[in-house]
C-alpha cells in the first residue's frame, strides 16, 4: 500500500511561507529564500542538495494540495486560472486539491489532472491512494493541508528541508498538530540546508 509523505522547505523559525502572500508573491515576503537549496540563483548546486532535489518527486503516484497552493483566491473560481505552473505542471500525476468550492477536473499536459475535493482531507488522501496504486502519495502543501494530515493521523513520513532563513511571520508549519511522535530516520546537510527525514510513529 502506498505511503503518505510530505517534502517541505521550512525556515529556522518554522515558516513554510513568508508574510503577505499574494498573486504577485505567492510564497510571501522572503519565501523564495526557502527554495534556493533546490534552485540556486547563482553558482553550482551542492551535491547533497542536488541529490535530495532529484529524490523529491521520485516514487510518487498522486498528490494532495490545498487551494491556496493551486490558486490564491478564496471566493468563486476564476475558471481561466490553471495553476501557477503553466500548461505542463511538474506533477505528471493526479493532484487532489482541497477546496470548499466544487470545480470540474482540470486536465493539463504531461499527465497532470487536478481534481477538486470538497469533503475533507481524509477523502482527498483516500482518492490519492487509490490513484497512486503501489506508488506513494505526496502532500505538496501548503501548511494547512500538512497540519490537517498530521492531526488526522494520515501522514507517514515528513521530510523537512531546513534553511538558515528567519522569516519572522507568515504560514507556520507545525502549529496545532497535536502531539505526533516523530522518529528521525535520516539527516543530510549542505552549507545551505539540513535535510531531515522523519517517520510519524503511531501508537
98-118 tens-digit pLDDT? 999 999 999 999 999 999 999
Q: CA 99 to CA 106: how far, in whole Å? A: 14
Whether 61 maps to a domain, the answer reads yes
Whether 145 maps to a domain, the answer reads yes
Q: Which residue has the higher pLDDT, 24 or 201?
A: 201
Alpha-carbon 153 to chain mean position: 17
User: What average pLDDT does range 55-78 have in this prediction?
Assistant: 90
Q: Give percent of the chain above pLDDT 70.
A: 99
Q: pLDDT at residue 1 above 70?
A: no
Q: pLDDT at residue 15 above 90?
A: yes
Pairing of strands 136-141, 113-117: unpaired
**Residue 67's pLDDT is what?**
92
Whether 135 maps to a domain, the answer reads yes
Whether 160 maps to a domain, the answer reads yes
**Residue 41's pLDDT is what?**
81
Whether 152 maps to a domain, the answer reads yes
Model confidence at 203, in pLDDT bands (50, 70, 90)?
A: low
Q: Which domain holds residue 124?
A: 4-75+83-180
The structural domain count of the chain equals 1
Q: Give percent of the chain above pLDDT 90.
A: 76
Whether 36 maps to a domain, the answer reads yes
Q: CA 21 to CA 80: how far, in whole Å? A: 21
Model-level pTM? Answer: 0.92
In this structure, what CATH number is given to the domain that contains residue 119?
3.40.430.10
Half-sphere exposure (Cβ direction) of 41: Cα atoms closer than 13 Å: 6
DSSP assignment of 141-202: E-HHHHHHHHHTT---EEEEEEES----SSEESSTT----EEEEEEEEEETTEEEEEEEEE-
Q: CA 153 to CA 121: how far, in whole Å? A: 11
Could you read off the pLDDT of 124-158 as tens digits, one per residue?
A: 999 999 999 999 999 998 899 999 999 999 999 99
Whether 22 maps to a domain, the answer reads yes
User: What average pLDDT does range 35-52 have in this prediction?
Assistant: 91
**Residue 44's pLDDT is what?**
86
Whether 201 maps to a domain, the answer reads no
Amino acid at each position: 500500500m502506498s505511503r503518505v509523505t510530505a517534502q517541505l522547505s521550512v525556515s529556522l523559525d518554522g515558516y513554510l511561507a513568508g508574510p503577505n502572500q499574494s498573486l504577485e508573491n505567492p510564497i510571501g515576503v522572503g519565501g523564495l529564500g526557502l527554495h534556493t537549496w533546490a534552485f540556486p540563483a547563482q553558482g553550482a548546486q551542492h551535491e547533497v542538495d542536488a541529490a535530495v532535489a532529484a529524490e523529491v518527486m521520485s516514487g510518487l503516484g498522486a498528490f494532495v494540495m490545498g487551494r491556496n497552493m493551486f490558486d490564491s483566491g478564496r471566493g468563486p473560481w476564476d475558471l481561466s486560472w490553471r495553476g501557477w505552473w503553466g500548461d505542463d505542471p511538474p506533477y505528471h500525476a493526479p493532484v487532489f486539491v482541497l477546496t470548499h468550492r466544487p470545480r470540474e477536473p482540470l486536465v493539463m499536459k504531461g499527465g497532470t489532472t487536478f481534481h477538486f475535493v470538497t469533503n475533507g482531507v481524509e477523502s482527498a488522501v483516500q482518492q490519492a491512494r487509490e490513484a497512486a496504486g503501489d506508488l506513494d502519495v505526496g502532500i505538496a502543501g501548503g501548511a494547512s493541508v500538512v497540519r490537517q494530515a498530521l492531526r488526522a493521523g494520515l501522514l507517514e513520513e515528513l521530510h523537512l528541508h531546513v534553511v538558515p532563513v528567519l522569516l519572522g511571520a507568515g504560514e507556520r508549519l507545525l502549529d496545532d498538530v497535536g502531539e505526533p511522535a516523530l522518529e528521525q530516520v535520516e539527516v543530510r546537510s549542505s552549507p545551505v540546508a539540513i535535510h531531515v527525514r522523519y517517520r510519524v510513529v503511531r501508537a
